[in-house]
Amino acid sequence: MKKIFISLTLILTLILSQKIFAQNVTEIAEGPKVLILNYHQIQNTSASLSIPLADFDAQMNYLTSHGYVSITPEELYSGLNGQLELPKKPVLITFDDGYADNYKNAFPILRRYGMRATIFVIPAFVGVYNNYLTWEEILEMQDGGITFESHTMHHYKLEELPDDEIRSELLNSKTILEEKLGRPVEFLAYPTGTYNLHIAGIAKEVGYKSAFTIKYGVVDLGSNFYALERVPIFNSAGHTMKDFYERIDYRQSFEEFGWIKK
Ligand SMILES: [Zn+2]
């Protein structure tokens, strides 16, 4: 009888502690958590920033079959501000630099999966260099659910520039893109991902609502609007898919359990 009582107490304690633990987890995971992926090139080469087509296809397949819903930077901004209810598993798919293969290789795959994406382009390169997008391609993609935002005018290292040049890099790219695209351009990705508080201040001053870095992490209510985290996805010694799962799930679950605090 005593044995049964001890067992019952033990079971009850276990149930109660699990309940408390579950409550703690919910508390930590409260508020939107947004996965922002950062791609560059989608092509079948060994270039360090490129992802083979089949892998990109498998990644989009993984995201859609695991309930991820693609969102735009504007939706992210409204979601973090509490003005919009984000999907349960939001993902913001971003590409930096605006390579020509984004149109030729990534766009058809994105369309097939009904995924939206955002491309940060360098206006001085558009239609100028062969391996970058043209304005015609950009406009066609814009009609097909792709959002275009600024990656500055020339992709210079901003921290090496004087203030007036930082300002013109940020402002001119914004103005040209707005003219070409016929819509407001209010989001920025820092070239090479580097930024500091001073550059962020200028970005805010010239009219950007937020800016993206290459700081590794998942965006949540604790994130700085001018230093948003992203998860880089690139080719690493042929282990792309393993890296992909680890990068998007491993880190996220760590954060959910409060083991990593930014
Ligand atoms: Zn770049």
- The pLDDT, as a whole number, for residue 123 is 98
Distance 212 CA to ligand 1 centre (A): 11
Examine residue 208 and state whether it is found in any structural domain, yes or no: yes
Ligand 1 center from residue 79 Cα (angstroms): 26
Please give the Cα distance from 233 to 38 (Å, whole number).
Answer: 6
Please give the Cα distance from 28 to 142 (Å, whole number). Answer: 37
| Centroid of ligand 1 to alpha carbon of 192 (angstroms) | 5
**What's the pTM value of the predicted model, to 2 decimals?**
0.84
Distance 120 CA to ligand 1 centre (A): 8
Answer whether residue 135 shows pLDDT above 60: yes
Instruction: Select the more confidently predicted residue: 79 or 13.
Output: 79
The better pLDDT of the pair 191, 2 is held by 191
Instruction: Count how many domains the chain has.
Output: 2
19 CA distance to ligand 1 centroid (A)?
46
CATH number of the domain enclosing 153: 3.20.20.370
pLDDT of residue 25: 40
Please tell me the predicted confidence (pLDDT) of residue 262: 43
Q: Reduced to 3 states, what is the DSSP secondary structure of residue 74? A: helix
CA of 213 to the centre of ligand 1 (A): 10
Inside any domain, residue 76 = yes
| pLDDT tops 50 at residue 14 | no
Residues 110 and 12 in one domain: no
Q: Is 261 domain-assigned?
A: no
Asked if residue 193 and residue 78 are part of one domain, the reply reads yes
What does the pLDDT average to over 77-97?
96
Q: Which residues contact 43 (CB under 8 A, 6 or more apart)?
A: 50, 51, 52, 53, 101, 105
Tell me the residue type at 255. Answer: E
Task: Say what the pLDDT of residue 239 is.
Answer: 59
Q: Give 23-81 pLDDT, tens digit per residue.
A: 444 334 468 899 999 999 999 988 888 999 999 999 999 999 999 999 999 999 999 99
Query: Which residues have CB less than 5 Å away from ligand 1 (the ion)?
Result: 96-97, 191
Determine, yes or no, domain membership for 262.
Answer: no
| Helices 197-205 and 163-181, packing angle to 10 deg | 40
Query: Residue 240: what pLDDT?
Result: 57
In the chain, the percentage of residues whose pLDDT exceeds 90 is 68
Rounded Cα distance, 174 and 118, in Å: 15
Q: Are 104 and 144 part of one and the same domain?
A: yes
211 CA distance to ligand 1 middle (Å): 13
Identify whether residues 147 and 42 lie together within a single domain.
yes
Q: Which domain holds residue 152?
A: 32-256
Same domain, 25 and 124: no
Exposed/middle/buried for 149, CB within 10 Å: 0-12, 13-18, 19+? buried
Place of tokens 């558009």: 126
Q: Does a structural domain hold residue 216?
A: yes
User: How far does residue 97's CA lie from ligand 1's centre (Å)?
Assistant: 5
Q: Are residues 37 and 148 in the same domain?
A: yes
What separation in Å is there between the alpha carbon of 230 and the centre of ligand 1? 13
- Over the Cα atoms of the chain, what is R_g? 21
CA-closest candidate to residue 62, choices 257, 256, 246, 251: 246
pLDDT digits (tens, 9 = 90+) for 144-201: 999 999 999 999 999 999 999 999 999 999 999 999 999 999 999 999 878 899 999 9
The pLDDT value given to residue 70: 98
- In the reported structure, the alpha carbon of residue 15 is separated from the centroid of ligand 1 by a whole-number distance in angstroms of 51
Same domain, 57 and 9: no
Q: Flag whether 104 is in a domain.
A: yes
If you measure from the C-alpha of residue 251 to the centroid of ligand 1, how many angstroms do you get, rounded to a whole number? 24
